[in-house]
Structure 1
Amino acid sequence: MTCFLLFILCGLSSGALGKGKEPKEQKGKFSVPALDVKDQQLVLEANQTLTLNCRGRWELSWAFPVGVAKDQESVKVVESRCGKRRQQFCSLLTLTPARAQHTGSFRCRYRHRPQRQSPVYVYVTDSRQPFVELQLRSPDVVYIKEREPLVFPCRVTNPNASVSLVKYPDQPLVPDHRNIVWNSRQGFVVRRPSFIFVGLFSCQATVDGVKHTSKYLAIRLVNKITAVYLNASGPVQALQGETLSLNCTVTAELNSRVSIIWSYPAQANDSASITRRIEKRRSHTLFYSVLSIPRLQRSDRGLYTCHVTSGPQSRQANVSVTVYDRPFIRLKPRHGVVLETHAGQKSYRLSPKLRAFPGPEVIWLKDGMAAAERCSRYHVDGSSLVIRDVAEEDAGKYTMLVGIQEHGLYQNLTLSLVVNVSPQIGEKAVSVQDPGTVQRGSRQALHCTSHAVPPPQVQWLWYPCPSKGLLATPRA
């Protein structure tokens, strides 16, 4: 009985551990899906039907060439269970009618493990369309990148097509199977492109006496970012509900390819719209990316960063955005309401603490009159009042008027300025007169005229005449 219970517990334990696990990696049958074709490529005629049957151990999915994705109505996929015990999965793909642009790789793969797949390359031949991609009148652009092969993507609908590569105006380039290689599934591949591969090229194929051409403009990419800057030179402040617009401008060399990506606080909300524009100049290229948020919320405040990459190069510019609920004015003294300075000082600045949004209008008054009109030495610098060449008459009451007219907000602050004046004796300004001789015992009056702010204290000292050639010590 004990052995029987142990057997049941072990069985339950094994089942519980196995439940919900991913299928184990197996290298046996159906480790990758199996297609019902033996060759790695198929060749069909245009308007024929392509049928592919795929079988596997788990659920299946298909990956199609680019040309098929644009024409889904021609594709039909039927899923079913198959095998002796119906433990396998089958998927039947039908493509009808097959077109030249359907040429490419069809891949059957496991849905949960797409890296496990079985491909087959299908050519859909059409004598009227030897090249898979239909080209407009203007040539396609291909880029020469550092340490990467250059591909002229003129892949063909027939694996046996004869194609030549010609540089404009009439210079054929013969594949040497080392640097220039022809591949019917890719086109012409130049493994180590040099400067001679910059310019206009064409892939040419002649079918039934008709010449077909695909043109390509090869441009050498330059990865040099000269400058990145935003239209906001400092922190941005805005009111809730207003529109925020930030422009990231990138200056790069000609032929540069630039990627611009924004990161910002409410990025997950998709509340922002981004528009891009490229402007070619004679010596450089300008890339513009404008981020706009129509109705700002408190959640939109924070750091906005413009990330720019061009090949291995990367740069960025950022700005801080503050969103206020309502307009405001906050005004208070910086060092009290009574201030002191000295006459003769080169300049003195009256600068209370002011915070306001939106930017307010500031007017300074001196004793009730506009300061700038009262004296040419008074200059308003931002929200501060600067007094040049301070004089005694600059003492008085200064009033700062702050207003945001569109929101009806007003505030003022009055400061008293005391201008200290160094003591001066008026008699020193005139030449010294010889008092002459006076009669002994007579009364004489000596005058001392002085001025200072604050009022000075006057002290008299008496210097007796020198005795026997020696200077006497003055007496108070």
Structure 2
Amino acid sequence: MNSVFICLLCGLSCGVFGKSKELKGKYSVPILDVKTRELVLDTNQTLLLNCRGRWEVKWLLPAGLASDQESARVEQSRCGRTAQQYCSRLTVRRALVNHTGMFRCRYRRRTRRQTSVYVYVTDSRRPFVELRGNSPDVLFMKEKQPLVIPCRVTHPNVTATLVKFHDHKLPPDHRNIIWNSRQGFIIRSPNYFYVGLFFCQATVNGTTHSSHIYFVHRPVSNIMKVYLNSSDPVQALKGERMALNCTATGELNTRVNITWDYPGKKNNTGSVTKRILNNKTHLLFYSILTIPRLQRTDRGLYTCSVTSGGKLKQEKVTVSVYDRPFIRLKPRHGAVLKAQAGQKSYRISPKLKAFPTPEVIWLKDGKVAAEQCSRYHMDDNSLVIRDVAEEDAGTYTVLVRIQEHRLFQNLTLKLDVNVSPQIGEKAVSLQDPGSVPQGSRQALHCTSRGFPPPNIHWLWHPCPTKGLSAAPRA
């Protein structure tokens, strides 16, 4: 049994090592019959390439040449001494300028194993591979990636100059602007300067030629800010018109998509208007959702979603729809309130809910509170008393009215101000009564004030005898 296991293990390991050796041996990648990495042909010459490999091979051709064209022919065969190898012959008759590019031979099933040669098909009257068209091609500038202006040339010795409209020439500097005859111009660290129209120029035999024109666009997806025209919950009456404005701020060249989600979206109760405003430093995108006649079914959550690229930002607001205007007013902590004299501030705040927004006036003892004392001021619908004093006690009335709908309501509250008890005699200097005759009648006075009225208690401290102390007795 052990011997069988050893044999199986040996066979498995031999198979693995054999396969590894097979992949690393001769023809681990296909082999071309050319020894150089690039070829230069004249127009109308014939290109002949042979490729040999251990497995089936196929050709990858430049964009300007397809294997099913009449000018390109592929012949497959088995080759080698024992016909164990695979050969493929590519024939391109009457080579043209647009056939310039990389010719690759690779294994069909092992696609990473390949070999290649770059072929220039030269023409002194046409140094650039791509013909100049009527409209520019769009190139997208990507963040933190090089930008390639693909003005390839038909001969490796041709050197071009990059030109930005109008006549702003940018020769290669071998640092940021790199010239490559197979690719064109490579901008290592592109910025906003490289946004716009570009083309290449090359001079051959004293004649200046221009390449195809390219428009470089820098797509941006930076949404700086999104906000609604109302950050607080929206309240409206049934039948009224409502407009919500969603504004998105983005960098220049940003393109955003603004969509709305709201209760009436399925029924198309609202209409959307969009605008774009161009600023010197940014773009403003407006989307205005309008509902001409609000119904109770329109109440709920309204969401503005702004997307750009893979980024998303949202703003939400709740909309309430009322059948009619109303005022609801009642005490928050009962009809009688209590404050303490010396308190830094005291707020009288009833429970108030009304629509539309009402006018609120506070009275103290029948007169406008704010006109009586500078320490009284309104904060929203509340009355705030600063540095509470004894004279702040009294009757306070809040008047609430919605004049346009002839709605009025008021509420009266009583405020008591507690005052800490004080003894009047402590504020004046009293003379020591001294000794009095035993059995005589004496009158002692204690005057106190405060709110609520204080209770007075007398304590008697008998004189202690020498060396002893006596406790006070009531």
Q: Please give the range of the TM-score, normalised by the shorter of the 2 chains.
A: 0.5 to 0.7
CA distance in 2 between counterparts of 1:232 and 1:302 reads: 15
1:439 is the counterpart of 2:437: yes
1:233 to 231, 234, 238: 231
1:200 to 192, 197, 200: 197
CA distance in 1 between counterparts of 2:353 and 2:371 reads: 26
Aligned partner of 1:187 in structure 2 is: none
| Equivalent position amino acid for 1:382 in 2 | D
CA deviation vs aligned residue, 1:359-395 (integer Å, no higher than 9, x gap): 1111111111111111111111111011111111111
Aligned partner of 1:244 in structure 2 is: 242
Distance 1:261 1:203, change over 3 A: farther
SS of residue matched to 1:393: helix
CA distance in 1 between counterparts of 2:450 and 2:281 reads: 68
Distance 1:307 1:149, change over 3 A: farther
Aligned partner of 1:67 in structure 2 is: none
| Equivalent position amino acid for 1:314 in 2 | L
2:333 to 312, 332, 335: 335
Distance 1:291 1:456, change over 3 A: same
- TM-fit CA distance, 1:460: 1.2
CA distance in 1 between counterparts of 2:306 and 2:460 reads: 84
CA deviation vs aligned residue, 1:248-285 (integer Å, no higher than 9, x gap): 11111111111111111101222222121212222221
SS of residue matched to 1:373: helix
Unaligned runs of 5+ in 1: 1-39, 42-129, 153-164, 181-189, 205-212
- TM-fit CA distance, 1:397: 0.8
- The answer to whether the 8 Å contact 1:144/1:193 transfers is no
Give runs of aligned pairs for residues 24-173 of structure 1, distance below 5 A.
143-144=140-141, 168-169=165-166
Aligned partner of 1:46 in structure 2 is: none
CA deviation vs aligned residue, 1:112-138 (integer Å, no higher than 9, x gap): xxxxxxxxxxxxxxxxxx9998x7xxx
CA distance in 1 between counterparts of 2:145 and 2:440 reads: 115
CA distance in 2 between counterparts of 1:151 and 1:274 reads: 40
- TM-fit CA distance, 1:193: 12
Give runs of aligned pairs for residues 182-331 of structure 1, distance below 5 A.
198-201=195-198, 217-331=215-329
| Equivalent position amino acid for 1:474 in 2 | P
- TM-fit CA distance, 1:471: 2.2
- TM-score using structure 2 length: 0.59
CA distance in 1 between counterparts of 2:236 and 2:346 reads: 33
CA distance in 2 between counterparts of 1:144 and 1:266 reads: 41
CA deviation vs aligned residue, 1:55-105 (integer Å, no higher than 9, x gap): xxxxxxxxxxxxxxxxxxxxxxxxxxxxxxxxxxxxxxxxxxxxxxxxxxx
- TM-fit CA distance, 1:202: 6.9
CA distance in 2 between counterparts of 1:377 and 1:422 reads: 21
- Indicate the larger mover: 439-448 or 424-433: 439-448
- TM-score using structure 1 length: 0.59
SS of residue matched to 2:391: helix
1:421 to 419, 424, 449: 419
Distance 1:353 1:408, change over 3 A: same
CA distance in 2 between counterparts of 1:148 and 1:294 reads: 49
| Equivalent position amino acid for 2:338 in 1 | E
Distance 1:459 1:242, change over 3 A: same
CA RMSD, 1 decimal: 3.8
- The answer to whether the 8 Å contact 1:337/1:415 transfers is yes
Distance 1:310 1:251, change over 3 A: same
Distance 1:314 1:442, change over 3 A: same
Aligned partner of 1:474 in structure 2 is: 472
Distance 1:273 1:421, change over 3 A: same
Distance 1:303 1:140, change over 3 A: farther
| Equivalent position amino acid for 2:196 in 1 | G
Distance 1:198 1:462, change over 3 A: closer
SS of residue matched to 1:423: strand
SS of residue matched to 1:267: coil
Unaligned runs of 5+ in 2: 1-67, 70-130, 150-161, 172-179, 202-210
CA distance in 2 between counterparts of 1:385 and 1:169 reads: 68
CA distance in 2 between counterparts of 1:296 and 1:144 reads: 46
- The answer to whether the 8 Å contact 1:145/1:220 transfers is yes
1:374 is the counterpart of 2:357: no
Aligned partner of 1:95 in structure 2 is: none
CA distance in 2 between counterparts of 1:441 and 1:285 reads: 100
CA distance in 1 between counterparts of 2:472 and 2:229 reads: 74
SS of residue matched to 1:268: coil
- TM-fit CA distance, 1:469: 3.5
SS of residue matched to 1:427: helix
Rg larger in 1 or in 2? Answer: 2
SS of residue matched to 1:256: coil
Distance 1:197 1:451, change over 3 A: closer
Distance 1:194 1:419, change over 3 A: closer
- The answer to whether the 8 Å contact 1:402/1:410 transfers is yes
